[in-house]
Structure 1
Amino acid sequence: MTTDRPAVLLVDPTFTGAGYKAAARELGFLVVSLYTCDYTAMATDHAEGDDLSLYADNPDHAVRLVTEAELRIRAVVPAMEVSTHFADRIAELLKLPGNDHALATSRRDKAAMRKRAQQAGLSIPEFHVVNSPNEIASAALDIGFPAILKPTLGAGSQGVTLLPDAESLHDLNGLETHDAFDMPINQWLVERYIRGRQFSVNFYSFEGEHRLVDMWEFRQPDDRDYDFPIWDNLQIDASHPDWRRVEQYVREVLDAFGIWRGPSHTEVKCSEDGVYLLEVAARLPGGPMVGTWIEHGGMQPFHAAIRCFLGERPAMFETPVNFSARCGALAIRNDDAPGTLVAIHGLDSVYGLPGVDEVLVTYQPGDHVPVTRDDLTIPVGVYVSGADSDEVIRTLGAIRSQVSLEIKR
């Protein structure tokens, strides 16, 4: 495919990353998409919108394909969690702007992430890396309880398991065997469970300068320990008591992990004794956030990300992002036992509520509904907005008072 027209290489632009294709085309580039694993390459209509689709399972292979096609690649853009580390290495091989390729694995693999954080002097929970389920019990007994078990790869909380006490170690047969990208799980972190508020923090970076977009708090229904954080999510502002220490800590994380350009999503917990890193990723966030930025922040998040990797300073670095509304989201979960969905009661009334931006329904009557343990098993999600936090919280409460799941067990 020899052409004089410049191209952008999008790495795994599937599902929520598909917005990159339209943005690249609007910026005048050929859309060249690289699919790195079966999870993305087998997705329905994954190649829709591509000028050229490439398939490779490692960076060197990808570069060979680009070279053979005689493409004028101007930017390499990581579009999905599964392959952000590939994108960094491809950019390095093509001598294009990117994040520090030497630290790429530490922004993807939680074992490498914890080791890098230790080297940089960042506060993190005590942890052990284990390579077999048989090693989990001894690691947890050494760490102490409560502890939490996490696959070192994957996403969306899939396979994350709270270990509240020694009794919980007696039956680990129900552990997930594959992650959110359908890849085998063969390594885990066992780490100290941090009690406190949990936040997700979203930045864009350009040439090492970091611009905060927004910050969200994961709000829980009670003070019990948890392994799946999504219940109510609320976009917060600088009046929040933890805002400043969280922002400062995440800026240190971005520097320590060599995030020089593009979007990043970092999750932390705040306890009485400090802020602790849960994860950092050099990519756009999931959930309601990108849609919120477009609808209520006047942003073009996909365009801005591509510009960062082109080496062009996005306009958002000149003018702070101002939101016209405060935003939030909730998950209607199945926290009991698995069963067959009979009905979702009260859902019709939700569509007419003021401030409801989007309703997502995963299961239909007759479907098997598992216990909600990760992003993929949320029966109902709702994104909302309002004039301020109080209004958003009221809307979330109104939805919960009206919507319920009827499940036959």
Structure 2
Amino acid sequence: MSLVVVGASTNIARVAQTLGEPLIFVQLPGSHVPDLIRDDVDEAFTLDFRDERVLARFAEEILSPRRPKAVVSVTEGGLQPAAVLSTLLGTPATSVDVVRVMRDKLLMRELLAQRAPQLSVAFADARDEDAVAKLFAGHDHVIVKPVSGTASEGVRRLDAADEARLYTDGNIFEEYVDGPEYSVESFSRAGRHDVVAIVEKGVAGHFVEVSHLTPPTTLTAGESNLIERSVRELLDALGLRDGPAHTELKVSNHGVKIIETHNRPGGDGIADLVAITCGLDWRRLSLGWPLGESPVDPRPRANAAAITYFTAPPGTVTRTTEPACVSDGVTVEDWAIEVKVGDVVNDLRSSRDRVGWAIVSGTSAQACHSAVAALRAQPVVVTEAVS
């Protein structure tokens, strides 16, 4: 018997191998994860797991005879295929319906409007011209985003109704909510939702995430309690009972408003921040929960941690710098530059346009916050505009 992992990155494959189970990797064509296969222990199969007919044949012909213990994914594109395979095989998992409503922003809004309207915002399906016109008439600013988008791709703030004509089927319009933004990592077991970490988010450009800090420096104890209660209400409303969740929200003058949620751990290095400040291997727990993996003897390494993503003006890279010194009480845990001299940097329109990162830990959230500000102010990657 084995654990099936759908759509694993190289890093996730390494973590999965620590669970002590034979693994079956299910990958899209072109994946390099099979390079990590342990001889005589793991297997790898390449198929278009986005096609449910392909999944059904794969489950019947390949997986069913192997009798896997569970099917799991922690990557956005693998969540629904993993749920489909779990249903076909009868293994423990979040249901397909719950995964679908957490991935589809329009379905989520419609369900929240019925079950927890206090957590939601006004919205309109891009296909409904009357609803879109009504939304713009009632709000000065409106957000448009793909219904199933990720990585801040395609997220825009619109200030006039005539701009809506550029966005059609496949998009959702939402009331713009002012206020600070946070993400929440939670772990559920049999319908009980425990908040693991609240993370303060920094954004730039077209709402692209450029920093994450935990614990936040901008929340009162009352606001933290309100966030935790709101996340539990959200997960109950959507029907999540087991496993990890990553929820993005804002704290406004009208209370907590949900931006989106997913039944997976947060990306962008948030799992590393959880490991530092909570002492939990968040990736391993998120992969292993169907096998009974649960938080055990957490041992935090620092009071606070943050990740900042480096950005640069559009152009050709002319210079990159070495790790910088930061203030007392702060340690640089990781540093990476993903571009080299001669590469072209694009305008900052999604997470894919960032050029590197630094992870820091510290004695306090304020120390990490100051370190992030200092690093963001430095020209870590220098570019020259293309004439």
Residue from 279, 288, 304 that aligns with 2:285: 304
Asked if 2 retains the 8 angstrom alpha-carbon contact of 1:355 and 1:385, the reply is yes
Match of 2:375 in 1: 399
Residue from 46, 65, 85 that aligns with 1:90: 85
Shift of 1:358: 1.4
Match of 2:357 in 1: 381
Task: Name structure 2 gaps, 5 residues minimum.
Answer: none
Shift of 1:363: 2.2
Cα separation, partners in 2 of 1:401 and 1:302, compared to 1, 3 Å: closer
Residue from 215, 218, 227 that aligns with 1:246: 227
Match of 2:106 in 1: 111
The answer to whether residue 34 in structure 2 is matched with residue 34 in structure 1 is no
Cα separation, partners in 2 of 1:405 and 1:280, compared to 1, 3 Å: same
Partners of 1:18 and 1:71 lie apart in 2 by 20
* Percent of aligned pairs with the same amino acid: 21
* Aligned-pair Cα RMSD in Å: 3.0
Asked if 1 retains the 8 angstrom alpha-carbon contact of 2:326 and 2:374, the reply is no
Cα separation, partners in 2 of 1:343 and 1:256, compared to 1, 3 Å: same
Partners of 2:217 and 2:193 lie apart in 1 by 17
Asked if 1 retains the 8 angstrom alpha-carbon contact of 2:215 and 2:365, the reply is yes
Q: After superposition, give the CA deviation of every residue in 1:139-180 in whole Å (9 maximum; x if it has no partner).
A: 76345321111011121101111213457x2995xx8xxxxx
Map 1:216-231; keep pairs closer than 5 Å. 216-219=199-202, 227-231=206-210
Match of 1:314 in 2: 294
Amino acid at match of 2:282: P
Asked if 1 retains the 8 angstrom alpha-carbon contact of 2:133 and 2:161, the reply is no
Map 1:3-402; keep pairs closer than 5 Å. 6-23=1-18, 26-27=19-20, 29-35=21-27, 40-45=28-33, 48-49=36-37, 50-55=42-47, 56-59=49-52, 61-69=54-62, 70-122=65-117, 123-131=119-127, 138=133, 141-142=136-137, 144-165=139-160, 169=163, 172=166, 186-219=169-202, 227-236=206-215, 240-241=219-220, 242-310=223-291, 312=292, 314-316=294-296, 322=300, 324-334=302-312, 338-344=314-320, 347-350=321-324, 354-402=330-378
Asked if 1 retains the 8 angstrom alpha-carbon contact of 2:102 and 2:108, the reply is yes
Asked if 1 retains the 8 angstrom alpha-carbon contact of 2:309 and 2:357, the reply is yes
Cα separation, partners in 2 of 1:375 and 1:321, compared to 1, 3 Å: farther
Asked if 1 retains the 8 angstrom alpha-carbon contact of 2:302 and 2:361, the reply is no
Partners of 2:281 and 2:239 lie apart in 1 by 24
Partners of 2:155 and 2:131 lie apart in 1 by 13
Q: Secondary structure at the match of 1:111?
A: helix
Match of 1:178 in 2: none
Task: Give TM-score, length-normalised by structure 1.
Answer: 0.81
Partners of 2:34 and 2:121 lie apart in 1 by 38
Cα separation, partners in 2 of 1:360 and 1:138, compared to 1, 3 Å: farther
Shift of 1:197: 1.1
Asked if 2 retains the 8 angstrom alpha-carbon contact of 1:14 and 1:79, the reply is no
Deviates most, 362-371 or 231-240? 231-240
Asked if 2 retains the 8 angstrom alpha-carbon contact of 1:234 and 1:389, the reply is yes
Partners of 1:170 and 1:190 lie apart in 2 by 9
Cα separation, partners in 2 of 1:54 and 1:260, compared to 1, 3 Å: farther
Task: Give TM-score, length-normalised by structure 2.
Answer: 0.86
Shift of 1:202: 0.2
Q: After superposition, give the CA deviation of every residue in 1:111-138 in whole Å (9 maximum; x if it has no partner).
A: 1111121121232121111259x99985
Asked if 1 retains the 8 angstrom alpha-carbon contact of 2:203 and 2:211, the reply is yes
Q: Secondary structure at the match of 1:350?
A: coil
Partners of 2:125 and 2:23 lie apart in 1 by 39
Q: After superposition, give the CA deviation of every residue in 1:183-219 in whole Å (9 maximum; x if it has no partner).
A: xx95001111100110000011122122221110113
Task: Name structure 1 gaps, 5 residues minimum.
Answer: 1-5, 176-184
Cα separation, partners in 2 of 1:325 and 1:41, compared to 1, 3 Å: farther
Asked if 2 retains the 8 angstrom alpha-carbon contact of 1:75 and 1:97, the reply is yes
Deviates most, 61-70 or 206-215? 61-70
Deviates most, 138-147 or 360-369? 138-147
